[in-house]
Homo-oligomer: A and B are copies of this chain.
């Protein structure tokens, strides 16, 4: 139709002011703790990737990795690209946790951000990849309710960030928080991390995303440990195995030389 062609040729979006759009990444990973007794299973803790800002604003503060959306890519592609630049890993799955668009959230101007949860397999991480990752570090994370408030603790060596939040509203696994104390985190990233963690825990309850923490083949005890670490709970092995049975399939391989009974390796179904 000629009318449409003419219309589009003369159409201009330039009259409207437009925001910059970014994708921010909340990348989770399991960290394996040291162990003196080789026969005993190693404990794990949940960690999260932060980068130290080299420029204003929030110079020197720790922030979530992220970057601007480019023309010709989807926001998911942008997020994948950012994860790749920071960790050299192509994550198995990305979970969008919403668009953060509060005016004034970024002192540089009108910048809105779609945040994503990303899970990085323990075995896949290579430290300090490329330029971007120079100041990137995995922080141990703890997030617990304490008489009405939520305390978010992030620690890496001697550095400890402590943010305080309050629950605003919750629908499904998506909970909104308000930040009472950012604890030194840049922008509104404390709020984003809090929502990301609740979303991850909700997902883990139904065995979503927990497989992405592990290699292709794993033992059921390893898988159970992932769920327990992520959700900060403890479940009985017999019950876990019953519930997970429908989501995994056996291989004919076993673990070896662990100093105790070998475990059958499973694969995601």
Q: Which residues of A does B touch, CB under 8 Å?
A: 3-4, 7-8, 11, 13, 16-21, 55-57, 59, 68-76, 93, 95-96, 98-99, 101-103, 107-112, 114, 171-173, 202-203, 206, 208
Chain A contact residues: over half helix, strand or loop, or mixed?
loop
Residues in B with CB closer than 8 Å to A103 are 71-74
Q: A171, B75: Cβ atoms under 8 Å?
A: no
Q: How far apart sit A108 and B72, CA to CA, in the bound complex (Å)? A: 14
Q: How far apart sit A173 and B171, CA to CA, in the bound complex (Å)? A: 12
Per a CB cutoff under 8 Å, which of B8, B56, B112, B203 touches A171? B203
Min C-beta distance of A109 to chain B, whole Å = 5
Residues in B with CB closer than 8 Å to A69 are 19, 101, 112
Q: B74, A172: Cβ atoms under 8 Å?
A: no
Q: A57, B96: Cβ atoms under 8 Å?
A: no
Beyond A16-B68, A74-B103, 5 extra complex contacts between A and B, CB < 8 Å: A8-B57, A13-B110, A69-B112, A71-B103, A96-B99
